A and B are shown apart, each in its own frame.
Chain A
């Protein structure tokens, strides 16, 4: 509800904020994941609150938590390139706060071995990691909410897209969701939509 209210408010404020963009299509610079907030939600999750602080050992141990991060699923209103789908994942797992938090709890994060070459080819840094059986999967779904308005002319000439990334960390064995978080960012564009 709050999101919808924010959308409506933002749409009516479009004229005042005089954006220069002609498209709401996501660009690399638009993707921001708000690492500190996500780190805090991880810390607040009961699963991690109960998990003792235990720095990661140099070599894998049997009871280690191993997260395999998957490419985001696109359920948005826009086509997303492979790099657009991997970039938020890379930003999340490479965020210094999130990484420190997971390291402190002995958690390893890796990408699916079959995807590593593709992700590296996209220019995204992927640290070397031993291939281990994952205990958890980190998945994300991208959704957008789109609004159009006729602000200056008689036809639709303003568009706002709010993009949400919904993160889920699932225990592979029990299918239990042990953490979920959300990232959102928005783009506004002006100009006749049909033109």
Chain B
């Protein structure tokens, strides 16, 4: 019995299947291409930081962050939130995120179990982002700065210590050439030399050689040594201080004078000043498999010093400080880049070469070879997309960091007024007036203490940056320049005054002593804020909080007085408050009538 003749599929059905298969393949490729696209810098966040709109920036960073701890960008999201809250002068608003960031930075082998993701997206693109070594080092210092603002020098020292991990020196593979290059082509060449040297080693030893030959060397991360030395100085650990400063002078001889200032201890205030933006991580080389850093998308490095002027009454001081750390230098140096990127690039370069050869075969006249070629073209596209280097990076990282060391009048010195006379600090990068920032109410350090402040310099010259005035009475400055009479500084802003202090027994007592709202108790005042939907940091927060009421938010707090956030919030007018509740509206109207009649009498 003859075998039944197979019924041929109807041409239309067959075409449909082929079309479906083709679409499926293309769809898969499209998905892979989309999933593995180069990282897009968050330009909106960069612009907000550039303008000093750090409250808005930190809220956007929070909204865009993925709360899923397994997300591959989880750490990167946390990094941005922590950086922005510190810059906004409210490090405690991201306390939990900061602890999480630190925990994950300290966690080993984060990417050991992502096999499925690696299969689909390619190994590089499935990894949980932990940052390049220099990004990790900067993150540790950022965390340490948050601790330092609270005077927790033990934790500053620990964070700085963690930033000073060993680096990998590839001098052997580079035959004495520099591991750093200013140009993309130069960086690619450096990486290819190291990859080629590893390939040669593997070939000569039958593939059993270690992937890359390097020597562990001590870190040259200036900022880590500076923070550690400051902590040593604050904790009076002179033994470790000498050792740390000796290392700093060795890795950065240009900072010799700066190191000497720390050694002599002639300062009681340290100000960390971040400015500019780090370069962009890009794909170079065949298939975009090699990662390099393009400074054209960040800020241009230069040696311009930081000028800091301090004023208190008739006392003043002016000093200049050098750039401590330039992230462009770190980014361009292979020693500060991931070994993992090199390993993946080495594999990807091999894959791209294989697929390229196969695609050439696909150009044959033979139909079956052509079909195989089509599959390989698709595979090639997919592989090309997944072989591209992982270009995720923290675009909010500063281009440069300064540390200013100042000897300010202490709270028990009569220099420049009394203890309650705050110090004004003017900070600016030399020849860049758009970066000038005037901090109008920096508290005086207590005798024997070292205070730490953190500033992120805006760079668009907003009027508030140099307004040199406090427009609202707050927890750090009891009087405002905008008050038309003393009562304004004692009357809450939500009731028509200029006071955005945290309500306390003392603030209510001062209000009553001035004859303002004498029937209102502390509890009543707190209830008024609650009726308006306003929450008070320290009283109503669970560790994280949003924007200030002056900027349309629902939170009442005072940022650190030595921060950009403090200046933006209190050195400009925000207009009157519009009450939401009938009770607050009634009290505010009543106060306004009383004030108007009082003004008429006067």
Contact = CB atoms under 8 A, between A and B. Distances in A.
Q: How large is the interface on B (under 10, 10 to 19, 20 to 34, 35 or more residues)?
A: 20 to 34
Contacts of B159: 79
Interface in A137-187: 154-157, 159
B162 A77 contact: yes
B339 interface: yes
A80 B158 contact: yes
Interface residues of A, number: 25
B35 interface: no
A192 B106 CA distance: 11
A154 B158 contact: no
A46 interface: no
A78 interface: yes
Contacts of A189: 107-108
A88 B340 CA distance: 39
Contacts of A81: 99
Contact of A78 (B106, B107, B130): B106
A76 interface: yes
A154 B168 CA distance: 12
Contacts of B111: 195
A192 B154 contact: no
Contacts, number: 76
A74 B158 contact: yes
Contacts of A193: 108, 165
Nearest to A74: B154
A175 B130 CA distance: 48
B366 interface: no
Contact of A192 (B108, B147, B161): B108
A194 B154 contact: no
Interface string B239-262: 000000000000000000000000
Interface string B193-216: 000000000000000001100000
Contacts of B292: none
B398 to A, nearest CB: 22
B110 A22 contact: yes
B154 A80 contact: yes
A191 B105 CA distance: 13
B513 to A, nearest CB: 27
Contacts of A54: none
Given A192-B108, A195-B109, A23 B103 contact: yes
A106 to B, nearest CB: 34
A75 interface: yes
A190 interface: yes
B437 interface: no
Interface string B120-146: 000000000010010010000001000
Contact of A195 (B108, B161, B235): B108
A154 B209 CA distance: 10
Contacts of B143: 79
A192 B108 CA distance: 5
B158 A23 contact: no
A25 interface: yes
A114 B112 CA distance: 46
Interface string B93-122: 000000100110011111110000000000
B339 A155 contact: yes
A68 B147 CA distance: 26
Interface in A73-94: 73-81
Nearest to A77: B161
A75 B103 contact: no
A74 B150 CA distance: 14
B158 A77 contact: yes
Nearest to A27: B103
A91 to B, nearest CB: 19
Contact of B109 (A78, A80, A157): A157
A140 to B, nearest CB: 12
Contacts of B526: none
Contacts of B152: 74
B155 interface: yes
Interface string A56-82: 000000000000000001111111110
Contacts of B102: 25, 79
B109 A190 contact: yes
Given A78-B106, A190-B109, A195 B147 contact: no
A159 B235 contact: no
Nearest to B98: A79
Contacts of A22: 107-110
Contact of A75 (B106, B133, B166, B235): B235
B456 interface: no
Pick the most buried of B147, B154, B159: most chain A CB atoms within 10 A of its CB.
Answer: B154
A194 B133 contact: yes
B157 interface: yes
A89 to B, nearest CB: 15
B541 interface: no
Contact of B108 (A73, A77, A191): A191
A154 B154 contact: no
Contact of B157 (A23, A75, A155, A191): A75
Contact of A23 (B107, B112, B338, B340): B107
A86 to B, nearest CB: 13
A22 B108 CA distance: 5
Contacts of A194: 130, 133, 136, 165, 338-340
A156 to B, nearest CB: 8
A156 B237 CA distance: 29
Contacts of B161: 77
Nearest to A194: B133
A114 to B, nearest CB: 14
A22 B112 CA distance: 11
A75 B107 CA distance: 21
Contacts of B339: 155, 194
B154 A159 contact: no
A54 to B, nearest CB: 38
B157 A195 contact: no
Nearest to B144: A79
Given A23-B103, A154-B211, A76 B158 contact: yes
A73 B110 CA distance: 30
Nearest to B95: A81
19 contacts: A22-B108, A23-B108, A25-B103, A25-B106, A73-B235, A74-B154, A75-B154, A75-B157, A75-B237, A76-B158, A77-B162, A78-B158, A79-B159, A154-B210, A156-B166, A157-B108, A189-B107, A190-B109, A191-B108
Given A191-B112, A194-B340, 5 more contacts: A23-B103, A23-B107, A75-B235, A154-B211, A194-B130
Q: For the complex of A and B, list the 6 residue pairs with the smallest distance between their C-beta atoms, beginning with the closest.
A: A191-B109, A74-B154, A191-B108, A79-B155, A22-B107, A23-B107
Interface of A: 22-25, 73-81, 154-157, 159, 189-195
